[in-house]
Amino acid sequence: MPRSVDHGESIRLDNLDKYGHSGSPNGVMTAQGDSQTGIHKRSVYEHNGVAVCSQKRALFIATIVLSILFLVSLIIAYAGPQSDCPCAGEMPSNLDEEGGYSGTRNVIPIATNNEIFPWNSLRLPVFAKPSRYHINIHPNLTTLDVKGQVTIDFQVDKESTFIVLHSRNLTITDKMLTDRKTRLPITRLLEYPPAQQIYIEVKEKFRKKVNYTLVLRFTSRLSHELEGFYLSSYTTAEGEKRYLATTHFEPTYARTAFPCFDEPQFKARFKMSIFRDRFHISLFNMPIINTEDAGFYMGTGLLRDDFQESVEMSTYLVAFVVCDYKHISSQTAKGISVSVYAPPDLIPQARFALDTATSMMDHYEEFFGVDYPLPKQDLIAIPDFGVGAMENWGLITYRETSILYDANETSAAAHQWVAVVVAHELAHQWFGNLVTMRWWNDLWLNEGFASFLEYFGVDHVMPGWNMMEQFVLDKTQEGLSLDALTNSHPISVGVHDPTEIEAIFDTISYNKGAALLYMLEKFLGQDSLRSGLNDYLNTHKFGNADTKDLWAVLSKHANQSIQVKSIMDTWTRQMGFPLVSISKEGNTVSASQTRFLLTPNPQKQNLSHPPSPFNYKWYLPLSYFTDLNPEEEEIVWMNMTDVKFEVANDVEWLKANVNQSGFYRVTYDDEMWSAIIAAMRRNHTIFSPADRASLLDDAFTLCRAGLLNVTTALELSLYLLKERDYVPWATALQHFQAWSKYLAEAAPYRLFLQYMKHLLGPVAHSLGWEDTGTHLQKLMSSDILVSAVLRDVEEAVKDAKQHYKEWMTKNVRVPPNLREVVYSAGIKYGGVKEWQYCWAKYNTTRIPSERKLLLKVLSVASDPWILQRYLLATLDRDMVRPQDVKLVIANVASNPEGRLLAWRHLRAHWTALQGLFGNGTFTMGSLISSVTSHFATEYDYKEVSTFFRRLNVGSGVRALDQSLETIQLNIYWVRRNEEPLFQWLTNYLSR
Per residue, the 3-state secondary structure of 829-888, as one string, reads HCCHHHHHHHHHHHHHCCCHHHHHHHHHHHHHCCCHHHHHHHHHHCCCCCCCCHHHHHHH
Which one, 457 or 728, has the nearer CB to Zn ion?
457
- Residue number of the CB atom closest to Zn ion: 1
**For Zn ion, which stretch binds (CB under 5 A), given 157-165, 324-332, 441-449, 916-924?**
441-449
Which one, 222 or 450, has the nearer CB to Zn ion?
450
Q: Which helix (H) or strand (E) holds 783?
A: helix 775-790
Minimum distance from CB of 883 to Zn ion (Å)?
Answer: 17
Rounded to whole angstroms, the Cα distance separating 1 from 545 reads 16
**For Zn ion, which stretch binds (CB under 5 A), given 227-235, 448-456, 702-710, 923-931?**
448-456
Per residue, the 3-state secondary structure of 668-704, as one string, reads ECHHHHHHHHHHHHHHHHHCCHHHHHHHHHHHHHHHH
Minimum distance from CB of 3 to Zn ion (Å)?
Answer: 6
Task: Name which position in 1, 357, 825, 860 contacts Zn ion (CB under 5 A).
Answer: 1
Q: Is beta strand 288-297 parallel, antiparallel or unpaired with respect to 300-307?
A: antiparallel
* Number of chain residues interacting with Zn ion (CB under 5 A): 3
Rounded to whole angstroms, the Cα distance separating 590 from 643 reads 6
User: Catalytic amino acids?
Assistant: 425
Minimum distance from CB of 210 to Zn ion (Å)?
Answer: 38
Q: Which residues lie below 8 Å from residue 536, measured CB to CB, with a gap of 6+?
A: 435, 545, 549, 550, 553, 554
Which one, 433 or 929, has the nearer CB to Zn ion?
433
Which one, 17 or 447, has the nearer CB to Zn ion?
447
Minimum distance from CB of 705 to Zn ion (Å)?
Answer: 31
Q: Is 540 annotated as a binding residue?
A: no
Nearest by Cα to 626 from 662, 656, 598: 656
Rounded to whole angstroms, the Cα distance separating 945 from 964 reads 7
| End-to-end CA gap in the chain | 53
Which one, 90 or 506, has the nearer CB to Zn ion?
506
Minimum distance from CB of 432 to Zn ion (Å)?
Answer: 7
Coil/strand/helix, residue 425: helix
Rounded to whole angstroms, the Cα distance separating 542 from 549 reads 15
Q: Which residues lie below 8 Å from residue 975, measured CB to CB, with a gap of 6+?
A: none
The 10 Å Cβ neighbour count of residue 686 is 15
Rounded to whole angstroms, the Cα distance separating 144 from 643 reads 66
Q: DSSP letter for 749, please.
A: H
Sheet holding 288-297, edge to edge: 171-178, 212-221, 145-156, 128-139, 269-277, 300-307, 288-297
Q: Is 447 annotated as a binding residue?
A: yes
- Amino acid occupying residue 495: V
Which one, 439 or 948, has the nearer CB to Zn ion?
439
Total H helices, total E strands in the chain: 30, 28
Is 415:853 a contact under the CB 8 Å cutoff?
no
Which one, 432 or 662, has the nearer CB to Zn ion?
432
Rounded to whole angstroms, the Cα distance separating 931 from 927 reads 6
Minimum distance from CB of 423 to Zn ion (Å)?
Answer: 11
Rounded to whole angstroms, the Cα distance separating 983 from 709 reads 13
Rounded to whole angstroms, the Cα distance separating 292 from 271 reads 16
Which one, 19 or 275, has the nearer CB to Zn ion?
19
Minimum distance from CB of 149 to Zn ion (Å)?
Answer: 31
As a whole number of Å, the CA-based R_g of the chain is 29
Question: CA angle, corner 681, sides to 680 and 685, nearest 5?
Answer: 50
Which one, 318 or 916, has the nearer CB to Zn ion?
318
- Amino acid occupying residue 604: K
Nearest by Cα to 745 from 907, 901, 940: 940
Rounded to whole angstroms, the Cα distance separating 600 from 968 reads 6
Nearest by Cα to 131 from 197, 190, 27, 213: 213
Coil/strand/helix, residue 924: helix
Which one, 226 or 858, has the nearer CB to Zn ion?
226
Minimum distance from CB of 450 to Zn ion (Å)?
Answer: 4
Q: Is 298 exposed, middle or buried (CB count within 10 Å of its CB: 0-12, 13-18, 19+)?
A: exposed
**For Zn ion, which stretch binds (CB under 5 A), given 439-447, 627-635, 720-728, 978-986?**
439-447
The 871-910 site mask, x for binding Zn ion (CB under 5 A), equals: ----------------------------------------
- Which residues in 449-468 contact Zn ion (CB under 5 A)? 450
Q: Does residue 445 interact with Zn ion by CB under 5 A?
A: no
**For Zn ion, which stretch binds (CB under 5 A), given 194-202, 442-450, 461-469, 702-710?**
442-450
Q: Is 765 annotated as a binding residue?
A: no
**For Zn ion, which stretch binds (CB under 5 A), given 305-313, 440-448, 648-656, 709-717?**
440-448
Alpha helices in 462-615 (DSSP H): 467-471, 477-483, 498-503, 507, 513-524, 526-540, 547-557, 564-572
Minimum distance from CB of 426 to Zn ion (Å)?
Answer: 11
Which one, 1 or 283, has the nearer CB to Zn ion?
1
Minimum distance from CB of 928 to Zn ion (Å)?
Answer: 23
Q: Which residues lie below 8 Å from residue 63, measured CB to CB, with a gap of 6+?
A: none
Which one, 384 or 447, has the nearer CB to Zn ion?
447
Rounded to whole angstroms, the Cα distance separating 658 from 694 reads 8
Length of the chain: 991
Q: How far is CA 72 from the centre of its chain?
A: 45
Minimum distance from CB of 431 to Zn ion (Å)?
Answer: 9
Is 653:671 a contact under the CB 8 Å cutoff?
no
Rounded to whole angstroms, the Cα distance separating 299 from 748 reads 72
Minimum distance from CB of 387 to Zn ion (Å)?
Answer: 9
Is 692:605 a contact under the CB 8 Å cutoff?
no
Question: Under the rule (CB under 5 A), what is the footprint of Zn ion?
Answer: 1, 447, 450
Q: Which residues are annotated as a binding site for Zn(2+)?
A: 424, 428, 447
Q: Which residues are annotated as a binding site?
A: 424, 428, 447
